[in-house]
Structure 1
Amino acid sequence: MIFDRIKPLSAILAAAEKKSLHRSLGAFQLMLFGIGCIIGTGIFVLTSAGAQKAGPGLMLAFVIAGAVCVVAALCYAEIASMIPVAGSAYTYTYATMGEFLAWTVGWALVLEYAIAASAVSVGWSGYFTGTILQDTFGIVMPAWLSAGPLALGGAPGGLINLPAMIIALLVTWLLMIGTSESAKVNAVLVLIKVTALTAFIAITLTSSEFDTARFNPFLPAGFFGGWGSGVGAVGAAATIFFAYVGFDAVSTAAEETKNPQRNVPIGLIGSLMFCTLFYILVAAGAIGTIGGQPIMGPGGVPFPAGSEELARQCAMPQFADALVCSNEALAHVLREIGFGAVGNMLGYAAILALPSVILVLLYAQTRVFFVMSRDGLIPDGLSKVHPRWKTPYVVTAITGLVVAIGAAFFPVGQLADIANAGTLYAFGMVAVAVMVLRKTDGARVRAFRVPGLAIIGPLTVLGCLFLFVNLPAGAMLMLPIWTGIGCVIYLFYSRSRSHMALGNVEVHEPELAEIGPDIPGLSNKGND
């Protein structure tokens, strides 16, 4: 039977039980940690794509995406406190539903991390070409060097997003040779991001340009845009979900939290609620000052974000300054209302902060690959450790090349949608894993238990499914196609070579601790 191999939880916990974690974190510390993890790429980069899908309804989209994250976060908190080992959703699934489903989750995480890193690279490119080159040095990069052909749908001038490709390759090189950075530097990066967004909110909401009339109509594309359309408030929520990913880093801190039953939900829900409010205020400031109505196509349906049609419309003079056409939305808003210097500072903040997010995403993928290799599901050679750099340089190089190619040829909105498809699948499987463990191993000690799991668990699964079916059709199709490829690899290679098939279920966690150095922004985990 294909679902017959469930790794014993006792084997997975063998290494974790050797460790003793000091409980020192309180609720407020967890909230600050969560805020630092969540705020970043999504809000800096995806504001324009979200506005093109939902218009002013982007604010409602943040609420919808945040609500799904809250219930998913609670499930993550329980299972992470039970299984505090590497591998995340892949490991959780292996312990509850077996090797095959675990493989599909791990395979989805590989897609998620790589595509998310590409999306962040494209977002960085927008701020680099706008803030550094154009507004600081007066250099206008040709369109054929700053946007890939798939971003412009083959429109004249689009060839490759060179800055995005270069930053992806540069970060890959840094990760291969090894870098180190203190927690203080990471804290400075978080402070830069939060300060920049706080300044944006204060300036825009008090600006004389702010006009509530710009919020009408509030839902120009409706609440539901239609299955597979990726528009409307729900379609925007499916894209904006990218702005919240990273909260699961808080759940993994359950083992180091004082009174986790009380403090973990406060930290998780508090940080998510703060970020949701923060995001709504950013969206309100942007839309209220320069407007955020989508550019409509035939039948009153917004042109798809990142499409050829939208690119052609944005090239027209009447839309040149539109929020939905900007590659550096927040800095663009400030320049439009006369705060060019502050806008450039915000751009600098994004340029400084985003490379560390790319690095963390690439690092996270090497962790998943390493765990899968340890389980015998992928060749050992892929996770070979360099003798001098002490990093898994082979898989890092391959991953970095794929990330660079994606960043060079795809727009940020499409990349975020594809990454979200894999993330939503993994989150849904975590909720199922929690429910399964309550049935199969209910007596095991849990540092945190989801209150009302009979309601929260199904809500998480339904919420993830709800956002998934409101992604654009292309993003939805990518997951089953990618999963199909993975299934072929599993059936013809991995299944016969897995350590479970060979009767080896030991866990050697120290291997993971030995690879790689301290990573910049590692505490700033996820897509940010």
Structure 2
Amino acid sequence: MLRTKPIGVMASKGEGEEAGGGLRRTIGLFQLTMFGVGATIGSGIFVILGDAVPKAGPGVILSFIIAGITAALTALCYAELASTIPSSGSSYSFTYATMGEMVAYMIGWCLLLEYGISSSAIAVGWGQYLNELSFDILGVRMPAAIANPPGVNGGIFNLPAVILVLMCCILLLRGTKESAKVNTIMVVIKISVLVMFILIGLTAFNSSNLHPFMPMGMAGVGAAASSIFFSYIGIDTIATAGEEVKDPKRTLPLAILFSLLIVTAVYVLVAIIGVGTQPYTQFNGNEAGLVQILRRITGATWPGIILALGAVISIFSITLVTLYGQTRILYTMAKDGMLPAIFAKVDSHTHTPRKNTVIVGTLVAIAAALLPLDVLADLTSMGTLVAFAIVSSGVIILRRTRPDLPRGFKVPLYPLFPILSIFFCLYLIADLSSQTFTLFAVWLTFALIFYFAYSMKHSKLEKTE
């Protein structure tokens, strides 16, 4: 339970580069930065804003800033560990090298929760924007029963979410290089669309809409920040590409920092414009709220069509990258013997974990079709925050136990920033609902049962001892 994995094994050449069946290094700095931006921009703005504003009012701006500060502090810790241990396992691999197998295994399950549930949460909002797009262009809408998540506007089975997940899986099965190229194009489109929203929104900005700024007090701001924190999982996604990145010791930390700067700036600007153009009471949980804002401001349909199209593309991009991260976490854990070997099998032609991708896609599609957004978002935030707190702790531990390790990047103002990162993560965890804590406890209980029944006996470290 306490055995650690030698860092030299992970940092020397990458765990998946064994002759014949490993992953290939095909991703450069720009594409990796776009992976991070692609996994982040959109989930907080296109999907969750309509759900977060009723909790915090205009104070949602502060919620995004708090979440951004937490992400920034954690990003610095990720950058240091990613430059030291460039593995596809991300937080799981970092923890395996610093805190031992048991903690690493539990973090691995947090990551599975983070990526799998976030993929579902993001896919949930696709149907609303697809409906807005089809209505503006064709004048027709899909029936509410199949276009919305359960419990929202008459939704029963979210069919568009299922279709989205399946399309992303097909693209991932074609290969990582192809997926990265498509993602880069989609990221450029969605940033352009959000810039359009900001510029049009400025013409209708009214500062009186920002009063009262925190109608639900700081508790509402904290609750909203906790929910929207799942928007920042792009940081972790970058680290999951550790074995497919060129010059990982340099590329990983730079991509993490660049993507976070882009994401935070866009998030805060869109949030300010969003709540500045209409009273917060008009945000009613509709995930397609930004389209409605543009339609009201301009009195025309074309801005809404462009934004809805951008949202459809954006949510596709995010789902693609989070599914990618999920499969790579499973791949690394299976390579270590923590999960069944089927998750580690790589196709000899495409160099992708095909069976792994099919299994993940099926489970994510089922969750996206049947679960409501608020439950999915909070569960994702819980998994993300726990993993982030552990990574920040790992920086402190590794500095003490292995100060000799070559590091491509070091956290500034050590140990202040890692400690602050842990504090902010715990602060946001505390504001999550009791239902989220219960579901998270059930998830970890199942993980522990599986560890003692299977993973402990099949661990690669067990066989080498």
**Partner of residue 332 from structure 2, selected from 371, 375, 384:** 371
Alpha-carbon distance in structure 2 between the residues aligned to 1:353 and 1:108: 25
The answer to whether residue 168 in structure 2 is matched with residue 171 in structure 1 is yes
Structure having the higher helix fraction is 2
- Residue 287 of structure 1: how far off its partner (Å): 1.8
Question: Match of 2:207?
Answer: 212
Deviation at 1:91, TM superposition (A): 0.6
Deviations 1:313-346 (A, max 9, x none): xxxxxxxxx3223221211211122242111101
Aligned residue number for residue 145 of structure 2: 144
Distance 1:424 1:30, change over 3 A: same
1:286 equivalent among 274, 278, 302 = 274
Q: Secondary structure at the match of 2:463?
A: coil
Q: Larger Cα Rg: Structure 1 or Structure 2?
A: 1
The letter of the residue matching 1:494 is S
- 1:41 maps to 2:43: yes
Counterpart in 2 of 1:8? 6
Aligned partner of residue 156 in structure 2, secondary structure: coil
Q: Counterpart of 1:479?
A: 440
Looking at structure 1, the residues matched to 85 and 339 of structure 2 have their Cα atoms a distance apart, in angstroms, of 22
Partners of 2:77 and 2:392 within 8 A in 1: yes
Report the Cα offset of residue 269 of structure 1: 5.5
TM-fit CA distance, 1:254: 10
Matching residue's letter, 2:441: P
Q: Deviations over 1:72-124 (max 9, x none)?
A: 01111111111112210111111111111111011111111111111121121
Partners of 2:9 and 2:182 in 1: CA distance = 37
C-alpha distance after superposition, 1:134-163 (max 9, x if no partner) = 2221213222222343x34xx8x4321111
* RMSD (Å) for aligned C-alpha atoms: 3.1
| 2:185 corresponds to | 188
Provide the residue aligned with 1:203 in structure 2.
200
Distance 2:247 2:375 in 1: 36
- In 1: Cα distance, 2:37 partner to 2:113 partner: 25
Pick closer, same or farther for the CA change 1:30–1:499 going to 2, 3 Å. closer
Partners of 1:368 and 1:449 lie apart in 2 by: 24
Query: What displacement does 1:221 show?
Result: 1.2
2:131 paired residue among 115, 129, 144: 129
2-structure distance, mates of 1:30, 1:366: 17
Note the residue ranges of structure 1 that are not aligned, 5 or more in a row.
225-231, 294-321, 505-528
Structure 1 residue 381 and structure 2 residue 342: aligned?
yes
> 2-side partners of 1:94 and 1:357: how far apart?
27
SS in 1 for 2:464: coil
Q: Deviations over 1:213-247 (max 9, x none)?
A: 222221111111xxxxxxx0011111121222213
CA distance in 2, matches of 1:447, 1:39: 27
Task: Classify the secondary structure of the residue corresponding to 1:496.
Answer: helix
Kindly indicate whether the alpha-carbon contact (under 8 Å) linking 1:118 and 1:415 is maintained by their aligned counterparts in 2.
Answer: yes
Q: Deviations over 1:166-213 (max 9, x none)?
A: 222332344346576376544332221111111111111112xx3222
Please say if residues 468 and 476 of structure 1, whose CA atoms lie closer than 8 Å, have aligned partners that are also in contact. Answer: no
Instruction: Name which of structure 1's ranges 324-333 and 72-81 shifts more when overlaid on structure 2.
Output: 324-333
After the TM superposition, which of the residue ranges 106-115 and 403-412 deviates more from structure 2?
Answer: 403-412
1:382-439 deviations in Å (ceiling 9; x for gaps): 4444566654333322211211111112233321221111111111111111111111
Question: Matched residues in 1 for 2:351 and 2:77: separation?
Answer: 34
Alignment gaps of 5+ in structure 2: 19-24
Per-residue CA deviations over 1:448-474 (Å, capped at 9, x if unaligned) read: 111222211221111111111112222
Question: Is residue 323 of structure 2 the alignment partner of residue 362 of structure 1?
Answer: yes
Query: How do 1:345-360 residues align onto structure 2 when only pairs under 5 Å count?
Result: 345-360=306-321
Distance (whole Å) between structure 2 residues aligned to residue 167 and residue 96 of structure 1: 37
- Please give the secondary structure, in 2, of the residue aligned with 1:350: helix
TM score, norm. by length of structure 1? 0.78
Question: Equivalent residue for 2:400?
Answer: 439
